[in-house]
């Protein structure tokens, strides 16, 4: 995943160019989408209902412009269809908040009632180039 949101791009530029400081979020959360949220985060494609909730994620220190998750991320079992997950995102809050990064999954996955969605440790990477 390497698409930074408009929000994050502006914050990083302002911080890097000494225009204003940017405080890192205290935690980050993974969201699931049935379509791309886009750089502006239109919010129209994030899963909702059926016991869906964003899940917290931890990342190891970046190396060579890439940071990867340092623990497995497991979403709760769906209690209704979540649709076909085609994109994931990183937010700075468990609800609402600001989109930081987004990208397509390697293989889309339909999540029906009783299914879980899991991202193994190290299998979610974010790169800046």
Residue 74 tokens read as 């497991």
Average pLDDT value for residue range 9-38: 95
Burial of 54 per CB tally in 10 Å (0-12, 13-18, 19+): buried
> Would you say 118 and 32 are in contact if contact means Cβ atoms under 8 Å apart?
no
Helices (H), the chain: 6-16
Residue partners of 6: CB distance under 8 A and separation at least 6: 39, 40
pLDDT tens readout for residues 53-103: 999 999 999 999 999 999 999 999 999 999 999 999 999 999 999 999 999
Q: Global pTM?
A: 0.94
27 SS3 class: coil
Using CA atoms, how far apart are residues 62 and 74, in angstroms rounded to an integer?
A: 22
Give yes or no for residue 43 having a pLDDT over 90.
no
* Spatial separation of the C-alpha atoms in residues 118 and 69, rounded to whole Å: 12
CA pair distance 72, 60, nearest whole angstrom: 12
At which residue do the structure tokens 């600001």 appear?
Answer: 98
Which pLDDT score, from 0 to 100, does residue 129 have? 76
């Amino acid at each position: 995943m390497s698409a930074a949101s408009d929000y994050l791009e502006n914050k990083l530029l302002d911080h890097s160019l000494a225009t204003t400081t940017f405080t890192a979020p205290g935690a980050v959360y993974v969201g699931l989408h049935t379509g791309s949220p886009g750089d502006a985060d239109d919010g129209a494609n994030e899963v909702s209902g059926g016991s869906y909730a964003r899940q917290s994620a931890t990342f190891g220190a970046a190396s060579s412009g890439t940071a990867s998750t340092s623990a497995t991320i497991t979403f709760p079992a769906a209690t209704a269809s979540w649709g076909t997950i085609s994109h994931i995102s990183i937010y700075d809050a468990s609800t609402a908040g600001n989109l930081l990064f987004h990208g397509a999954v390697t293989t889309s996955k339909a999540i029906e009632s009783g299914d879980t969605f899991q991202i193994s440790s190290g299998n979610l990477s974010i790169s800046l180039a």
